[in-house]
Amino acid sequence: MFQKLIAESTAKSPWLFHINSGSCNGCDIELVAILTPRYDVERLGFKLAGSPRQADIVVVTGPVTKQSLNRVLSTISQVPEPRCIVTMGSCPQSGNVFKGSYSVCAPLSQYVHVDVDIAGCAPKPEAIIDGLAKATKILKEKRGRM
Amino acid sequence: MDFPFVREAVVKLFSRPSCNNYPFTPREAAPNYRGRIVFHPETCINCNMCERVCAGGAIIHTSVKNEEGDDVITRSFDLGSCTFCSTCADFCTRHSIELTQDYHMIGIEEGDLIVSGTFIKKKPAPKPAPKPAAPAAAKEEAAAPAAPAVKPRGDGKPAQDPDKCVYCTICARKCPGEALTVDRKEKTWKLDEDKCVACGTCADVCPKNAIVI
Ligand code: SF4
Ligand code: SF4
Ligand code: SF4
Ligand code: SF4
């Protein structure tokens, strides 16, 4: 009975963990913006988690620099399954304007499975909310399969 | 005891929330917001200027020949690689690229973030004989000292006025099709008819207005 209650509650409130993999800070600012009273995603249950071990959704920003690659991957591996990996902005999806640089390892999708891509540079806060809503849906499906 | 902000707290308790309640109340982006790219293939002339100026390398095109020998050109924009700088739209002389206010760009499956369009570029071949003759005639006419100014060729491709031209080579450097060869020392201006796509960029950039379209 408690298990069911916990499952239902976690489905309603996915926790986010944000990884900056060398982003220009544009995307990070927008991600923080959705937590402000203006957009207030906490009313939809999203909450920024302090540790990857407590997170359900991982949001990666930045073009995955060589320095950060191993740290990003080890942080993602600490997030318990079922998890949902969201890339935010053009950087982790393709490298964006940093494409071809000697120090950039993007796209992230060649190292881990990415569930949702939010396009934009930086994405509008509303687009981030859309993307997180999609991620929640995918998370629910993954839970159902477990 | 002094309680600061008590008044504000009470007033705010009864005022409207500042939250804009997004997913439940749809919101429009601000005017001139640069979101999803819309490509109009009907007007594109495949000059490739957009690909050359794109910082994110988001634009690619493929070209295949169909049965009639025409080129079927597909140009695609990868929104997952775009910085939404709008440089491509600014440089497109044909206004074939538009950045819209649509910001709902979420990719879940492959291809969700690709915008593409296809058009057919007709083969210009049918009359190969008069073609080389035409520029020669135009050049002779232009080279003759009596000719006051060059006449536009009428097919959208550039004609040069040797009286005005200072052989600065700007047009050759700006030509997206690399159709122009200008030699400063020899004072020659040559147009490769096959490479020219009649975009008019050369006439726009010429500081001496020596090119007529
Ligand atoms: S997508 Fe754009 S805003 Fe986001 S980190 Fe990359 S360059 Fe910065
Ligand atoms: S710049 Fe405009 S006309 Fe030229 S290839 Fe690009 S879309 Fe087509
Ligand atoms: S908006 Fe900028 S980054 Fe995007 S396709 Fe156009 S030129 Fe490239
Ligand atoms: S010669 Fe002029 S019109 Fe022709 S492709 Fe070059 S810039 Fe465009």
CATH code of A48's domain: 3.40.50.12280
Same domain assignment for residues B110 and B186: no
Q: What is the DSSP letter of A67?
A: H
Query: CB–CB of B126/B84 below 8 Å?
Result: no
Is residue B35 in contact with ligand 3, taking CB distance under 6 Å? no
* B165: nearest Cα among B213, B212, B132: B212
Dump the DSSP string for B49-108: HHHHH-TT--EEEEEEE-TTS-EEEEEEEEGGG-----HHHHH-TT--EEE-S----EE-
Q: Given this model, what pLDDT does residue A143 score? A: 85
What does residue B93 show for φ and ψ, rounded to 5 degrees? -70, -15
For chain B, percent of residues with pLDDT exceeding 90: 18
Q: In sequence order, what are the beta bridge partners of B60? A: B76
Q: How many CB pairs under 8 A join A and B?
A: 91
Write the CA distances from A54 to A70, A80, B136, integer angstroms. 20, 8, 76
For chain A, percent of residues with pLDDT exceeding 90: 70
Q: Given this model, what pLDDT does residue B124 score? A: 61
**Least confident among A4-18, A76-90, B96-110, B145-159:** B145-159
Supply the Cα-derived Rg of chain B in whole angstroms: 26
A117: pLDDT strictly greater than 90: yes
Q: In sequence order, what are the beta bridge partners of B181? A: B190
A73: pLDDT strictly greater than 50: yes
The tens digit of pLDDT for each residue in B76-89 reads 999 999 999 999 99
Max mean pLDDT range (A68-77, B87-96, B137-146)? A68-77
Q: What counts of helices (H) and strands (E) characterise chain B?
A: 6, 10
When scoring B12, B60, B100, B104 by the number of chain A Cβ atoms within 10 A, the one with the most, hence best to mutate, is B104
- Measure B64 CA to ligand 4 centroid, in angstroms: 23
What amino acid occupies position B22? Answer: Y
Burial of B108 (0-12, 13-18, 19+ CB in 10 A): middle
Which residues are CB-neighbours of B139 under 8 A, at least 6 positions away?
A: none
Is residue A61 in contact with ligand 1, taking CB distance under 6 Å? yes
Max mean pLDDT range (A129-133, B108-112, B153-157)? A129-133
Same domain assignment for residues B109 and B158: no
Per 3-state DSSP, chain A is made up of helix, strand and coil in percentages (nearest 5) of 45, 15, 35
- Measure B56 CA to ligand 3 centroid, in angstroms: 6
> What would the mean pLDDT of B62-76 be, rounded to a whole number?
88
Q: Strands, DSSP E only, in chain A?
A: 15-20, 47-48, 57-61, 84-88, 116-118
What does residue A47 show for φ and ψ, rounded to 5 degrees? -150, 140
The DSSP element (H or E) to which A25 belongs, if any, is none
Task: List the domain range (segments joined by +) for residue A106.
Answer: 2-145
Smallest Cβ–Cβ distance between A117 and the set B22, B83, B113 belongs to B113
Do residue B56 and residue A43 have CB atoms under 8 angstroms apart?
A: no
Q: Does the residue B187 lie in any domain?
A: yes
Same domain assignment for residues B96 and B182: no
Task: List the domain range (segments joined by +) for residue B93.
Answer: 26-121
Same domain assignment for residues B65 and B111: yes
Same domain assignment for residues B187 and B114: no
Same domain assignment for residues B42 and B91: yes
The DSSP element (H or E) to which B211 belongs, if any, is strand B211-212
Q: Which chain B residue is nearest to residue A26, measuring alpha carbons? A: B83
Total domains present in chain A: 1
A27: pLDDT strictly greater than 90: yes
Same domain assignment for residues B102 and B162: no
| pLDDT category of residue A84 using cuts at 50, 70 and 90 | very high
For helices A2-12 and A125-145, the axis angle rounded to 10 degrees is: 150
For chain B, percent of residues with pLDDT exceeding 70: 87
C-alpha A135/C-alpha B42 separation (Å) is: 37
B165: pLDDT strictly greater than 70: yes
Same domain assignment for residues B158 and B194: yes
Closest-CA distance of chain B to residue A110, Å: 13
Smallest Cβ–Cβ distance between B83 and the set A39, A44, A121 belongs to A121
Q: Does the residue B7 lie in any domain?
A: no
> What would the mean pLDDT of B129-151 be, rounded to a whole number?
50
Is residue B210 in contact with ligand 2, taking CB distance under 6 Å? no
CATH number of the domain enclosing B76: 3.30.70.3270
Total domains present in chain B: 2
Is residue B46 in contact with ligand 2, taking CB distance under 6 Å? yes
Smallest Cβ–Cβ distance between B29 and the set A37, A96, A124 belongs to A124
A53: pLDDT strictly greater than 90: yes
Q: Does the residue B56 lie in any domain?
A: yes
Closest-CA distance of chain B to residue A50, Å: 24
The tens digit of pLDDT for each residue in B96-127 reads 999 999 999 999 988 888 888 888 887 665 54
